[in-house]
Structure 1
Amino acid sequence: MIDEKKLEDRLVALEAAKSWSPRVVSRLETLLRSGTDEALYRINPIQFATEKSIAEAEAIDLFLHACVAGLFDMDWQLVCPVCSDVVESFRSLRKLHTHFHCQLCQSDYDAALDDFITVTFTVSPAVRGIRFHDPDTLSAWDYVFHYKLTPGGILPDGVPWSEAAKGLVRVLTRIEPGAVASLEVDAVEGALLGQDFDSDAHFFFPIATDTGASSSHVPVTLDSGKCEAAPASIAPGKIVFDVRNAGKVAVVFGILQLPSATFHRPQLDFTPALSGKRLLMTQTFRDFFRSEVISATEGIAVLDVTLVFTDLKGSTALYERIGDLNAYIQVQRHFQHLLDVTVRHNGAVTKTIGDAVMAAFSTSADAVQAALEMREAVDQLNRDRPQRDFILKIGVHRGASIAVTLNERLDYFGQTVNIAARVQNLADGDEICITEEVHAAPAVADIIAPYPVAKSEAELKGVSKAMSVYRLARMES
């Protein structure tokens, strides 16, 4: 099942891609060679990092580089928050949409990059074939509990919902077009739910001892996403559902025994996963997947992003003093320093505009730590020069935004972007301005505690009320 030559060639390319921590690539090779089919399907890089004692950022980089090398395929998934069903999966961000309908829950959702959108990695069929590469050949059990449901949804008692749901299943089978399946169930008090796992087709029968005479056979017809079940009163005991597939495609159909007629799925927590937001804020993704664009005309919502804007004070005078070419070279050095700092703190540079940089971070703590280190990095540049040519102005703001494609580049749009840029304009040279939203974010107060901070109110263009801004000066020596 393993193409040894392709595996070896692509592992060599992966090893040469960058300087990895010791044994990182060998751990991935072990997984590729000896992992089960389940372990190589929809891999969660965050979970991989935990299990293999690898830094999360390096694990994400590892799988992105492995995709480039042809070892894995990347999937963008829409995951139901109620039942952990992978409702839809896309090989490209271009095809991703944000409104989705979960057929298992009969519910509609609007996804944001922070929520309901996760990114996983599956071994490339060119390297190693696994049974999940061809879902039509899977058993009904594999299809539902390994292909459809993600193990990431966790019940309050710590058990994955996908495991708990197995205990509810009384019958699970694949019914070919034109076939009739006689499905016998030993019903108990509660309810029976019959479900086509690929459409809205379902039936629901309460089961109670006081219903009178029990029906022994119930005819059921499935056709083009619809389910018609004969009326029946069902008491506890043996019951047979004669399910006819009148459609043109095979149906994976199951019957679940629910504890009550008013059964509600318990609220799920989800194990940490690589969100669409985190991936878009990973520099490796932005560098190697430049062709990925957001096709949705309205963009995709990001509920919580922290943006850092920087600009150089007095750069015009620098160009006049040392000439355009020399100044350009020095400004590019400054860009590289800011990029390095951004990557170290789990962010990504979205764009550069003239001498300015816009970077995005998942957390305000990372953004503020990066801003402070950016200031120090520029100071280091100045130490090699006869005078302080580089004086940085930095603004940081947190809020919701829209991820869009502008000028063939993934970008952010909205009021959060506008405010972040205007807060940067408030900063004097060597100053970092952060808004109240950033100041109040977790861990930020501890990070800025050693620095002199002055709070003021600022009127910003396009903002209806004054905003609190905190100015971070240099640490007092």
Structure 2
Amino acid sequence: MLGLCRGAHAMIDEKKLEERLVALEAAKSWSPRVVSRLETLLRSGADEALYRINPIQFATEKSIAEAEAIDLFLHACVAGLFDMDWLLVCPMCSDVVESFRTLRKLHTHFHCHLCQSDYDAALDDYITVTFTVSPAVRRIRFHEPDTLSAWDYVFHYKMTPGGLMPDGVPWSETAKGLVRSLVRIEPGAAASLEIDASEGALLGQDFDSDAQFVVPVTREASVTPSHVPVMLDPGTCVLAVANIAPGKVVFEISNSNKLPVVFGILQLPSATDQRPKLRFTPSLSGKRLLMTQTFRDFFRSEVISATEGIAVLDVTLVFTDLKGSTALYERIGDLNAYIQVQRHFQHLLDVTVRHNGAVTKTIGDAVMAAFSTSADAVRAALEMQEAVDQLNRDRPQRDFILKIGVHRGASIAVTLNERLDYFGQTVNIAARVQNLADGDEICLTEDVFRAPDVAEIIAPYPVTRSEAELKGVSKPMSVYRLARRTS
């Protein structure tokens, strides 16, 4: 007996739900009622609310810090409560063009059937990460898309509600108002769709392929057919007329494909202005997830298999190193020095996580960390100095003195040594800027210094500007040196 509980809209495996909630509760120290809010959603949320959950939206609605909400869903995946999906989302129509369960399968070149357009995605753009309840815990109708109504399939399964028109209305809601008929047609079957056509144009669309037609609706139409045959072949759509007049018309849609199709007819307005690019509600981007330490710690098998890597348009990298570490090893011995250096790593990791970053790797005594914003990176760099000060307070002398470099730019996310890493000139410059720093000094490049909020953060600190020649960089770069505050 599975112990299934059937409600009006839910079928829940109570035993698995309880076991996995207990595991989630024990995973870390959560803020009050965080797990209980998720449990309420799992038990009583509508199917739509448990499909492709946006953790940033969840955080806003439940008054939870974004970082904790992201951690919550990641740990919930580890516990078996949710499955994680990487989505490629069309920027013009908010259609989920492709969905992948693992980062390994993600690719960056995609084609939207609805917009007939090709795109190149970056981890910052068009790639978003969502979470769907595990069917082992609670079954929802979206686990079986072939059983969905045509309406649910198009507007709830395929489209995301996060793509907004300039007036703030979701494009999916606008598109619903354009639909004149929407139907699922089995292989070898046909459907008769009666449309009351208005002036403008009619769009016929197979929502899973490039098969579509656009037929003008004009009073000057030479023929006014009452029935229009349409043949759907794999990837193509054959329409027998060039235009039609306003009024009632029946489209006879024949599906010669080997699979069912979801086909719709939409009334397009007379205006031919190009539809504006959508803006999207805040969501968990692939970039932010890669800069979440919990993801890196618990999803080590998630790697990038694309040989060219995946672009990151804007990342801020922090490199740190210890000044005089060789002398430390000589003075207190290898084992003691190793233990102390590991303590220093843990302190820097804790600081990085507090400022929404992730440690990418350690190299000897050095740390490389990645942040979504320069402001977070600079705050972290300053707090790293304070964390090292705390380590030194318990020692007879200052064994730990940090040299820090911070640079911002584009990069490529890759897999190196079976771990997610960053590659490119931005990484090279960040490392070389760190080499310029003296002990107790933070060196910022111009891109970081001019980034939003950074000027306010560093206002209390002495700053000197200089020009530096960096190996592999054709032109001198401006470097801003932050010294420690004297008071």
TM-score scaled by structure 2? 0.97
Q: 1:263 to 1:145 in 2, by over 3 A?
A: farther
The answer to whether 1:168 aligns with 2:168 is no
Matched, 1:301 2:322: no
Map 1:40-189; keep pairs closer than 5 Å: 40-189=50-199
Measure, in 2, the Cα distance between the counterparts of 1:276 and 1:331: 31
Deviation at 1:257, TM superposition (A): 0.1
Contact 1:206 1:261 in 2 (8 A): no
2:400 counterpart residue number: 390
The corresponding residue for 1:428 is 438
Equivalent position to 1:406, from 394, 413, 416: 416
Alignment RMSD = 0.7
Aligned to 1:349: 359
2:32 is equivalent to residue 22 of structure 1: yes
Distance in 2 between the 1:182 and 1:32 partners? Answer: 40
Q: CA–CA distance in 2 between the matches of 1:113 and 1:298?
A: 13
* 285-294 or 259-268: bigger deviation: 259-268
Contact 2:195 2:250 (8 Å CA) reproduced: yes
Paired residue for 1:358?
Answer: 368
SS in 2 for 1:209: coil
Q: CA deviation at 1:261?
A: 6.6
Q: What amino acid is the match of 1:309?
A: F
**Deviating 4+ runs (over 4 angstroms):** none
Partner of 1:249: 259
Answering whether residue 275 of structure 2 is matched by residue 265 of structure 1, we say yes
User: 1:231 Cα deviation (Å)?
Assistant: 2.1
Post-superposition offset of 1:265: 2.5
Contact 1:456 1:469 survives alignment (8 Å): yes
**Among 462, 466, 469, which residue is 2:472 paired with?**
462
- The Cα of 1:263 is off from its aligned counterpart by 5.2
Residue 262 of structure 1: how far off its partner (Å): 2.6
In structure 1, runs of 5+ residues without a counterpart are none
Kept after mapping to 2: 8 A contact 1:311/1:356: yes
* Structure-2 separation of matches of 1:74 and 1:286: 14
What does 1:436-475 align with in structure 2 at a 5 Å threshold?
436-475=446-485
Q: Is the 8 A contact 1:191 1:261 kept in 2?
A: no
User: Equivalents in 1 of 2:125, 2:154: separation in Å?
Assistant: 23
Q: Describe the SS at the equivalent of 2:208.
A: coil
How far off is 1:158 after superposition? 1.2
Question: What does the per-residue CA deviation read over 1:211-257, in whole Å, with 9 as the maximum and x for residues that have no partner?
Answer: 23312111110011111111243010011111100111000000000
Q: Does 1:320 align with 2:330?
A: yes
Q: Percent identity?
A: 87
Q: Which residue is equivalent to 2:342?
A: 332
Three-state SS of the structure 2 residue aligned to 1:195 is strand
Mean Cα deviation higher: 30-39 or 221-230: 221-230
Structure 1 contact 83–265 (Cα < 8 Å) conserved: no
- The answer as to whether partners of 1:194 and 1:204 remain within 8 angstroms in 2 is yes
CA distance in 1, matches of 2:257, 2:376: 53
> In 1, distance between residues paired with 2:194 and 2:242?
15
Q: How far apart, in 1, do the equivalents of 2:106 and 2:296 lie? A: 17
In structure 2, the residue matched to 1:216 is 226
For the residue of structure 2 that corresponds to 1:156, the secondary structure is coil
Q: Within 1, Cα distance between the matches of 2:439 and 2:429?
A: 19
Contact in 1 for aligned 2:230/2:238 (Cα 8 Å): yes
Which of residues 284, 296, 306 in structure 2 aligns to 1:286?
A: 296
CA apart distance, 1:209: 1.0
Partner Cα separation in structure 2 for residue 161 and residue 92 of structure 1 = 28
Give, as a single letter, the amino acid of the residue that structure 1 aligns with 2:339. I
Q: CA deviation at 1:210?
A: 1.7
Aligned partner letter, 2:468: A
Deviation at 1:433, TM superposition (A): 0.2
Query: Matched residues in 1 for 2:137 and 2:244: separation?
Result: 52
Deviations 1:445-472 (A, max 9, x none): 0000000000000000000000000000
2:202 paired with 1:192? yes
In the other structure, the counterpart of 1:371 is 381
Contact 1:218/1:232 (8 A) holds in 2 = no
8 A contact 1:119–1:275 mirrored in 2: yes
2:47 alignment partner, SS class: coil
Task: Tell me which moved more, 170-179 or 204-213.
Answer: 204-213
Q: Which amino acid aligns with 1:415?
A: Q
Query: Is 212-221 or 110-119 further displaced after alignment?
Result: 212-221
- 8 Å CA contact retained: 2:216, 2:242: no
Please point out which of 44, 48, 52 is paired with 1:34: 44
Mapped to 1, the partners of 2:308 and 2:317 lie a distance apart of 20
Name the SS of the counterpart of 2:146 in structure 1. Answer: helix
Contact kept in structure 2, 1:299 and 1:404, CA below 8 Å: yes
